[in-house]
Amino acid sequence: MSDTCIIIPARFKSSRFPGKPLVKLLNKSMILRVAELACKTMKKEDIYIATDDDKIEREIIDNGFQCIKTLQKAITGTDRVALASENLNYKFFINIQGDEPLVDPKDIQKCINYKKKFPHYVINGYCYVGKNEKVISRNIPKLVTDKNDNLLYISRAIIPAQKENKSNHFKNFKKQVCIYGFTKNELRKFHSYGRKTNLEEMEDIEILRFLELGMKVKMFKCKEGSLAVDVPSDVKKVEKELLKKNI
């Protein structure tokens, strides 16, 4: 048995896009697309979808994947992963968000490699905000790191920001890619806090809970072009990229 598994959290009642995991992207549900991407890195027997919804469970099981039903009171996707991990016997847990249908399987493997190399860090992916994306968008979490790619802060605001607007203003903004690596103890510490931390609540970015609880987060560079489906208007953008990449 592998020492690593993938857990994909999928909540039906998303505040910004209800029913999002089951939205069709070129006639295939988004959650199924993400699960199939995971299969390019890991055996199907080590991939789990964690959900509280019967319709998502049926979609997953009908397509031959494993589903773990979790409590509806899970307040974030990472809390849902923590709940799902409790009865699984693995050393490392890779979390791929169910709204990342363009994630590169090589980046999933990279996350696994980073977690094994840096077992005492929470691992998270990033890439640069694309030319066709609006850095001002509140749907894109921007982040800053130190010289060793350790996470300093992440925000829906534009960071880093300059005191004055200059003609040669900063352009290479980093954005979060929702691939994570955890141990069970890290997930337990996160979930046992029982509520969102102050900055997590303010920014609505769950990785902040790890920082606020004193855990270190190491970021790794992902392939450019990752687009998440946060709101309904993202569907056409993602479908365009799927066609371009022939996925």
List of domains in the chain = 4-245 (3.90.550.10)
- pLDDT tens across 165-217, in order? 665 556 789 999 999 999 999 999 999 999 999 999 999 999 999 999 999 99
pLDDT at 155: 98
pLDDT at 171: 73
pLDDT at 163: 79
pLDDT at 230: 79
* Distance from C-alpha of 196 to C-alpha of 200, rounded to nearest angstrom: 6
Q: Which residues of the chain have pLDDT under 70?
A: 1, 15, 72, 165-170
pTM of this structure? 0.92
pLDDT at 1: 65
pLDDT at 138: 93
Q: Check: CB of residue 154 under 8 Å from CB of residue 206.
A: no
Q: Which of 61, 27, 23, 25 lies closest to 44, judged by CA?
A: 61
Report CA torsion sign: 204, 187, 21, 106: positive
Residue 21 CA, distance from chain mean position:
13
